[in-house]
Amino acid sequence: MSDTVDATNTPGEKSGPVLAADGTPLKRSLRRALRRQKMSALLLIAPLLIFILITFIAPIADMLFRSVENEIVQDTLPRTTAILETWDSESGSIPDAPVFKALYQDIFIAQERKLHTRLGSRLNYELTGASSLFRKSGRGVGDIGEVYQDQFEDMNAFWKKGENWNDILGSDAWLAEIKSWKKSSGQAQPPFELRADIAEILPETAAFYKIFADFTQNEKNSNLYKKDPWELIYSSFYDDLTGANAARIDTYTGPGAAELSEAKTAAASFETVDYKVAFGDIDKDWVKMPIWDTIRAYSPRFTNGYFLNAVDMQKSEDGPELRPENQRIYYTLFMRTLFMSSVITISCILLGYPVGWILANLPARTANLLMILVLLPFWTSLLVRTSAWKVMLQQQGVVNDTLVWLGIVADDSRLALINNQTGTIIAMTHILLPFMILPLYSVMQTIPPSYLRAAKSLGATNWTAFWRVYFPQSVPGIGAGSILVFILSIGYYITPEIVGGTTGTFISNRIAYHISSSLNWGLAAALGAILLAVVLGLYYAYDKIVGIDNVKLGG
């Protein structure tokens, strides 16, 4: 097919390529013309395509991504999770001191950024109590660092002042700039630069000071030069002074070299902090296994935890396992949602088919009038319609009153028609019925009455004619209506919430709860993803069994 083959054919031969008027091979010029057509068609629909991609697919993709996304743990506790990787969780003993030190550093930074409570909420989904544990720890970490801060400051007031710290840690060029900078000038604050070699002399201090400087300058928008450092800087300073590299401090000759040397000597006899004990004092949960197991289990950037939760499972030492029976709920709800959606779909078929038939066989004018009646419910608010069912179906409601008045039901045994599955099925069948009638009607309209006549003339009884000839031709309408009704009802949550009581609620009610109330969007996304997969699976099954070309929304 390639045009090189065509072009290499010797011209003049009868088998050579057909040429267009200008001498180019016909195939090539045809292809060019078609391509141009396709391009311009694509350009025409491009805005719409982009619009749909951005507004339709991107948010759904983003939401589904949340069902596995779990970066918050690693982002908030980077040092802790890094060290925890080497911790043997099966040893049965809680992690060692270095982990607690890292935890202190992580939580300190997180609480300054107000991120620790967010992590607490996240982990609370997995471990009850994590929320207050992190809130408390956020308040507590300040006290831990104060131990060193106080000792340094008591030793020499030099260490109190932010200027002195900056003089030691900042580069000379930066210091010159920051000293002449004024906030009121409106110019951007010169970004902090570390003094050369200081990262080797005071590695820990320098590293955390950089974080502090970045936070102060960019998030707090305060003048770093005047800002007194965090407690965390003091504890890391102590670590540097007493650490393996302490000897190199003597090589330092910059500003404050004398104070630094003095501090190094003094630090050796400082009171120290046992981070493990300190966290145990904040909350004894820190010296128990569950929180560490949880942090470790949810350290990775991606997790299957939400999906496990969505199918009533949880992580455990030995891999995923079923949750305790008194916490299993989603399987029941999924099954109930599918079951009730099917019942609603079938009710809609049973009620909608005769209506569609009548509409399709009436003269156009009458049919249009009746069609308005079918569509009327669309013109009323969903809440109003659902609340109307409440008035109708409740025990002192219209239906029960009528039944009692007719003597069908005794006054003391009124029927429970609402706040249960019955209520949901009745109200949702009513609300979704038009979605069944419309496709049925438009498909039935296209079935000429002559088919039924032909069948009868061939000897079929009314029933056979209907069942063998009319019904099969209306199946595409039933298919389209059923898909619409089924999928709509799977996602409905307002009506079940109002009339469903406890036995008539759907999985979507839980999704709504997690989206708007518990803020567990990851779990909501996982439930949504499963629901989507189930619907796609059913759609696939439908395609296999009935054939998707057998779905028609109209003629």
Partner 1 sequence: MKFTTTLLATSALIGAGTFAFADAHGNMANEMTLVSWGGAYQASQDKAYLQPYLENNPGVTGVWDESSNEAVAKLRAMNEAGNITWDLVDVVAADAIRLCDEGLAMEIDADEMLADAPDGTPASEDFGDLLVSDCFIPQIVYSTTFGYRTDMVGDTPPTKICDVFDLEAYPGKRALEKRPINNMEWALLCDGVAKDEVYDVLATPEGQEKALAKLDTIKDNVIWWSAGADTPQLLADGEVVMGSTYNGRLFSVIEEQKQPVAMLWDAQVFDLDGWIIPAGLPADRLARVKDFVKFATDTQRLADQSQYISYGPARLSSAPMVGKHADLGIDMAPHMPTDPKNATNTFLYNYEFWADYRDDIDAKFQAWLAQ
Partner 2 sequence: MADTSATNAFVEFERVQKSYDGENLVVKDLNLSMPKGEFLTMLGPSGSGKTTCLMMLAGFETATHGDIRLDGKSINNIPPHKRGIGMVFQNYALFPHMTVAENLAFPLEVRKIGKSVREEKVKIALDRVQMGDFGGRRPAQLSGGQQQRVALARALVFEPELVLMDEPLGALDKQLRETLQFEITHLAHELGITVVYVTHDQTEALTMSDRVAVFENGRIQQLAPPDQLYEEPENSFVAQFIGENNTLEGVVKEIKGGTCLVQLDGGGLIEAKPINVTQAGERTRVSIRPERVEFNKDRMPEGAHTLKAEVLEFVYMGDIFRTRLRVAGTDNFIIKTRNAPDQVRLQPGQQIEIGWLAEDCRALDA
Residues that bind partner 1 (CB under 8 A): 114-115, 117-118, 120-121, 124-125, 128-132, 135, 326-329, 332-333, 336, 394-397, 419, 497-498, 501-503, 505, 510, 515-521
Q: Does 555 bind partner 2 (CB under 8 A)?
A: no
Q: Does 455 bind partner 2 (CB under 8 A)?
A: yes
H-helix or E-strand spanning residue 539: helix 521-545
DSSP 25: B
Q: Does 464 bind partner 2 (CB under 8 A)?
A: yes
Alpha-helical regions (H) of 303-329:
305-310
Q: Quickly tell me which residue has 């009746």 as its tokens.
A: 370
Judged by CB, which is closer to partner 1: 131, or 446? 131
- Who's near 23: CB < 8 A, 6+ residues apart? none
Amino acid at 422: T
- Phi, psi for residue 19 in degrees, rounded to 5: -105, 145
Judged by CB, which is closer to partner 1: 31, or 114? 114
Q: Residue 451 Cβ, how far from partner 1 at the closest point, in Å?
A: 48
Question: Judging by beta carbons within 10 Å of its beta carbon (0-12, 13-18, 19+), is residue 70 exposed, middle or buried?
Answer: buried
- Phi, psi for residue 313 in degrees, rounded to 5: -120, 170
Measured at the alpha carbon of residue 338, what is the angle toward residues 334 and 340, in degrees to the nearest 5? 115
Q: Does 469 bind partner 2 (CB under 8 A)?
A: yes
Contact positions with partner 2 (CB under 8 A) in 413-452: 448, 450-451
H-helix or E-strand spanning residue 241: helix 231-242
Among 223, 387, 473, 518, binds partner 2 (CB under 8 A): 473
Among 82, 127, 460, 512, binds partner 2 (CB under 8 A): 460
Q: Does 465 bind partner 2 (CB under 8 A)?
A: yes
Q: Does 363 bind partner 2 (CB under 8 A)?
A: no
Q: Which does 128 bind (CB under 5 to 8 A by kind): partner 1, partner 2, none?
A: partner 1
Q: Residue 552 Cβ, how far from partner 2 at the closest point, in Å?
A: 12
Q: Residue 217 Cβ, how far from partner 1 at the closest point, in Å?
A: 18
Judged by CB, which is closer to partner 1: 367, or 530? 530
Q: Residue 458 Cβ, how far from partner 2 at the closest point, in Å?
A: 4
**DSSP secondary structure string for all residues of 326-356:** GG--HHHHHHHHHHHHHHHHHHHHHHHHHHH
Among 157, 196, 454, 533, binds partner 2 (CB under 8 A): 454
Q: How many residues bind partner 2 (CB under 8 A)?
A: 19
H-helix or E-strand spanning residue 111: helix 97-112
Sign of CA dihedral 431, 436, 442, 448: negative
Measured at the alpha carbon of residue 229, what is the angle toward residues 225 and 235, in degrees to the nearest 5? 145
Among 10, 459, 544, 549, binds partner 2 (CB under 8 A): 459
Q: Residue 133 Cβ, how far from partner 1 at the closest point, in Å?
A: 8
Among 93, 366, 380, 457, binds partner 2 (CB under 8 A): 457
Give 313's strand partners: 322
Q: Residue 393 Cβ, how far from partner 1 at the closest point, in Å?
A: 11
Q: Which does 269 bind (CB under 5 to 8 A by kind): partner 2, partner 1, none?
A: none
Q: Which does 456 bind (CB under 5 to 8 A by kind): partner 2, partner 1, none?
A: partner 2
Judged by CB, which is closer to partner 1: 166, or 424? 424
CA distance 39 to 43: 6
Is residue 411 within 8 Å of residue 327, measured between CB atoms?
no
CA distance 77 to 300: 11
Which residue ranges make up the site for partner 2 (CB under 8 A)? 448, 450-451, 453-462, 464-465, 468-469, 472-473
